[in-house]
A and B are shown apart, each in its own frame.
Chain A
Amino acid sequence: MSAPAGRSLQINRLWPLGWLICRRLLSGALVLLASATVTFFALRLTPGDPVRAVLGGPTANPTPETVARAIAEFGLDRPLPVQYLLHIGRLLRGDLGTSFSQHQQVSAVIAEQIGPTLWLTGSAVAVAWLLSTLSVLATARRGWALSAVGSAAETMAAALPQFWLGLVLLAVFAFGLRWFPPQSDGGFLGMVLPTLALAVPLAGFLAQVTRESFELALDQPFILSARMRGLGEGAVRWRHGLRHAALPGISLSAWAIGSLIGNAVLVEVIFSRPGLGRVLYQAVSVQDMPLTIGVTLVVTLVYVVASLAVDLLYILVDPRLKAKRT
Chain B
Amino acid sequence: MSKASLIVDNLSVDFAAGSARKSVVRHVSFRVEPGRAVALVGESGSGKSVTARSLVGLAGAGAIVSATRLSYGDRDLRALSQRQWREIRGRDIGFVLQDALVSLDPLRTIGAEIEEALAAHGWGDRASRRRRAQDLLRSVGIPDPDIRALQRSDELSGGLRQRALIATALALDPAIVIADEPTTALDSTVQAQIVALLSAIKEKGHGLLIISHDLHLVSKLADEVVVMHHGDVVEQGPVSDVLAKPRHAYTRALLDAMPGRHPRRRRPIARDREEQASSLPETVLDVRDLTKTFDGPAGSARLAVDKVSFSIQRGRTLGIVGESGSGKTTVARIALGLVTPDEGEIAFAGRPWVASTGRGPRVSEADRRPYRRDLSVIYQDPLSSFDPRWTVGQILSDALQAAGLARKDQARRIADLLAKVRLPIEIADRWPLNLSGGQRQRVAIARALAANPKVVICDEPVSALDVSVQAQVLDLLADLQEELGIAYLFISHDLGVIRQISDDVLVMQSGRAVEQGATEQVFSAPAHPFTKALLQAAS
* Interface-centre pick from A15, A224, A239, A243 (highest chain B CB count, 10 A): A224
Cβ of B133 under 8 Å from chain A: no
Instruction: Contact check, A221 vs B99: say whether CB atoms are below 8 A apart.
Output: yes
Please give me the residue from chain B that is nearest to A220 by CB atom.
B102
Instruction: Contact check, B58 vs A326: say whether CB atoms are below 8 A apart.
Output: no
Instruction: Contact check, A230 vs B121: say whether CB atoms are below 8 A apart.
Output: yes
Which one of B140-148, B341-349, B435-443 is at the interface?
Answer: B140-148
Instruction: Contact check, A221 vs B97: say whether CB atoms are below 8 A apart.
Output: yes
29 residue pairs A–B, Cβ–Cβ below 8 Å? A1-B143, A1-B144, A5-B144, A5-B147, A11-B298, A221-B97, A222-B106, A224-B97, A225-B103, A225-B104, A225-B105, A227-B89, A228-B89, A228-B90, A229-B117, A229-B169, A230-B88, A230-B90, A230-B117, A231-B86, A231-B116, A231-B120, A235-B120, A239-B116, A240-B108, A244-B107, A317-B107, A323-B297, A326-B298
Closest 4 CB pairs of A and B: A230-B90, A228-B95, A230-B89, A229-B117
Cβ of A232 under 8 Å from chain B: yes
Instruction: Contact check, A222 vs B120: say whether CB atoms are below 8 A apart.
Output: no
Please give me the residue from chain B that is nearest to A224 by CB atom.
B97
What is the predominant secondary structure among interface residues of chain A facing chain B?
helix
Complex Cα gap A82–B23 (Å)? 82
What residues of chain B lie closer than 8 Å to A228, measured between beta carbons?
56, 58, 89-90, 94-95, 97, 169
Instruction: Contact check, B147 vs A2: say whether CB atoms are below 8 A apart.
Output: yes
> Which B residues between 54 and 71 are near A, CB-CB below 8 angstroms?
56, 58
* Count: A-B pairs, CB below 8 Å: 88
B98 CB, min distance to chain A CBs, angstroms: 8
Instruction: Contact check, B97 vs A15: say whether CB atoms are below 8 A apart.
Output: no
Cβ of A9 under 8 Å from chain B: yes
Instruction: Contact check, A227 vs B58: say whether CB atoms are below 8 A apart.
Output: yes
> Which A residues between 192 and 241 are near B, CB-CB below 8 angstroms?
220-222, 224-232, 235, 239-240
* Interface-centre pick from B58, B108, B143 (highest chain A CB count, 10 A): B108
Please give me the residue from chain A that is nearest to B109 by CB atom.
A319
Cβ of A320 under 8 Å from chain B: yes
Contact of A326 among B89, B98, B108, B297 (CB under 8 A): B297
Interface residues of A, Cβ cutoff 8 Å to B: 1-2, 5-6, 9, 11-12, 15, 220-222, 224-232, 235, 239-240, 243-244, 317-320, 323, 326
Instruction: Contact check, A230 vs B87: say whether CB atoms are below 8 A apart.
Output: yes
Q: What count of chain B residues pass the 8 Å CB interface test?
A: 39
What residues of chain B lie closer than 8 Å to A225, measured between beta carbons?
95, 97, 103-105, 165, 168
7 additional contacts, CB 8 Å, given A221-B99, A222-B105? Answer: A221-B97, A221-B103, A225-B104, A229-B90, A231-B116, A232-B120, A326-B298
Cβ of B381 under 8 Å from chain A: no
What residues of chain B lie closer than 8 Å to A5, measured between beta carbons?
144, 147
Instruction: Contact check, A229 vs B89: say whether CB atoms are below 8 A apart.
Output: yes
Instruction: Contact check, B116 vs A229: say whether CB atoms are below 8 A apart.
Output: yes
Bitwise, B222-236 to A at CB < 8 A (1) or not (0) is: 000000000000000
A143 CB, min distance to chain B CBs, angstroms: 10
B256 CB, min distance to chain A CBs, angstroms: 32
What residues of chain A lie closer than 8 Å to B90, measured between beta carbons?
228-230
Complex Cα gap A71–B150 (Å)? 64
Q: A5-B144, A12-B298, A229-B171 given as contacts; is B106 within 8 A of A224 (CB)?
A: no
Cβ of B91 under 8 Å from chain A: yes
What residues of chain B lie closer than 8 Å to A320, measured between beta carbons?
106-107, 152, 154
Please give me the residue from chain B that is nearest to A227 by CB atom.
B58
Instruction: Contact check, B91 vs A230: say whether CB atoms are below 8 A apart.
Output: yes
